[in-house]
Amino acid sequence: MNNSCTMIAVATVILSAAIGSALAQDNGDRSTDQYTCKDVMRESGSNRDVAIAFVHGYLLGKANATKFNIEVLEKQTDAFVDYCLNNPNEKALDAMIKVKN
């Protein structure tokens, strides 16, 4: 019985340390209202593509839109990249809204 209690105590200490360590690390969560053009432009390759696609999708969802035109999205993406290169501190969502209008 004493050995079991010791094992449980050790396991609890190890688990607590692991959870504390995990919480201290960056878990990758981002806030859409704080994500800037600079954040998007700093991404590389497919990560940038995903970030831009997320912004498109977020705004489509927010507008309850279920249809989109690929050619229009491509043009908006090009305009978004140009805009963000010139305005790196602009919020990414605000930048996409501006180029969509």
Residue 38 token pair: 């600079």
Across 64-69, average pLDDT: 91
- CA gap 49, 74 in Å, rounded: 11
- Which residues have C-beta within 8 Å of that of residue 55, sequence separation ≥ 6? 40, 80, 92, 93, 96
pTM beyond cutoff 0.95: no
Q: For residue 36, which phi and psi values (nearest 5 degrees)?
A: -100, 170
Q: For the ranges 27-31, 65-69, 92-96, which has the lowest average pLDDT?
A: 27-31
* C-alpha 90 chain-centroid distance: 16
- CA gap 60, 54 in Å, rounded: 10
Domain locations along the chain: 37-100
- 3-54: pLDDT as tens digits: 444 444 433 434 344 444 444 446 777 678 888 999 999 998 899 999 999 9
**Category of 69 on φ-ψ map: left (φ > 0), alpha (ψ -120 to 50) or beta:** beta
